[in-house]
Amino acid sequence: MTDEELPRSLVRPAEAYLDHLAVERGMSANTLGAYRRDVTRYLRWLVAEGVVEPQDVTRRHVTGFLQALGTGADGGHPLAPRSAARTIVAVRGMHRFWTLEHLTETDPAREVTPPRPARELPKAIRVDQVTALLEAVPTDTPAGLRDRALLEFLYATGARISEAVGLDVDDVVGAVRGPTGAGPDAGADPSGDRGEGDEESGPAVVRLFGKGSKERIVPLGSYAAAAIEAWLVRGRPALASQPGTGGPALFLNQRGGRLSRQSAWTILKKAAERAGIGTEVSPHTLRHSFATHLLEGGADVRVVQELLGHASVTTTQVYTLVTADTLREVYAAAHPRARA
C-alpha cells in the first residue's frame, strides 16, 4: 500500500493478501497491480466509514462500497458494471483470505455478489482489414521492421499484448533465426512482404507465458515467421547495438530496451490510422480477430481455447456467437425469403 493515511491495522492484512496472490497464486504483475488499486480504494472506503480493524467490517460496509463504485460516492471514478465486478472480486477474495488465515471470524463479503455486466461480444475486424493494417507498416527502417513483426505476431498467435512484449528472442523456436543463422533463410529476402509464391521455410513456434505464468506453445504462420526473421536479421541488431543495451527481449524500443505495452498500443493505433480503418483497433482487437477468423475457417473451439490460453472453453465460446451473428447477417441479406 502506498497511501500513508491508511492505518497499519488494515494495511498489513491487505499486504498479506496481495503477497499471497503473488507468491502462492502466481498472479501476473499486471493483474496484481489492478488488485492492489482495487484493495486500496476499498480500504479508503472503510476508513471513511470509521473502520480501522478487519474484524469490524460488516456486510453493510461491503454492499455500500459496491454501490459507491457505480456512482463515485467513495471519491473515486464511477465504474462500469464490469470494472465494479472485478473490484468486488478482489474484495471478496481478501475477506475470504482473512477468514481462512483467522484474521477475522466471519466473512462479511461472502454473500455479496458482483453486478453481472451485460455480455459484450468481442469486436473483430475483417480479414481484408487485417491485411490492410499489416501492409500499412513501412519496413524500410529498423523500427518499421519491428512494428511489422509485432503486428504480424499478434494476429498470427492471438497473443495478449503483455505476452508479446514479455517475449525473449529464445522464446521463438524453429525456422526464425537471428543475423548469425545459417541456411538459405538467412540470406533470403526477409522483408515479410506478402507474395503469391511464399512458402513455409520450416516449422516455427513460440512459447507464450499467459496468466499465472502458464506456458503454451503456439505455431507461427509463414508471414509472421518471415516478418520476425526480417526484424531479427535487419532491424533488431541496429537497436541492440546501442551502449548499455543488448538484453534478451524480442521486441526492442528505440533505446534498445524492452518495448512497453503502451508503445505497442501506439504502434497498432498508427498502423490502423494509415490503413484507414474507421473502427477503434486495440491489441485485443487482433486477438479477437485471430479467434473469430479461426472459427470461421472451421477450427474446433477447443483448439482455439488452447491457442488463446483460456482456462475454460466457456470463455472461448463467446467467439462462436460472433460467427453466428455473421451467419445470420449473411442469411438475412442473401436468402430470398429471409425478410418479408
Looking at the annotation, which residues are catalytic? 160, 211, 284, 287, 310, 319
A 10 A CB-CB count for 139 gives 22
Evaluate whether 57 touches 108 at the Cβ level (below 8 Å).
yes
CA distance readout (Å), 202 to 136, 176, 221, 229, 234: 27, 9, 10, 12, 20
Query: Closest Cα to residue 225, out of 286, 284, 168, 156?
Result: 156
Gap between the Cα atoms of 163 and 237, Å rounded: 22
Listed residue (6, 39, 48) closest to 20, CA to CA: 39
How is the beta sheet containing 215-219 ordered, strand by strand?
172-174, 204-209, 215-219
Maximum separation of any 2 CA atoms in the chain, in Å: 71
**3-state class of 252 per DSSP?**
strand
Identity at 199, one-letter amino acid code: E
Distances (CA, A) of 75 to 1, 5, 60, 185: 18, 15, 18, 59
- Residue entry with cell 496484481: 32
Residue type, 218: V
Q: Which residues pair with 249 in a beta bridge?
A: 168
First CA to last CA across the chain, in angstroms?
Answer: 62
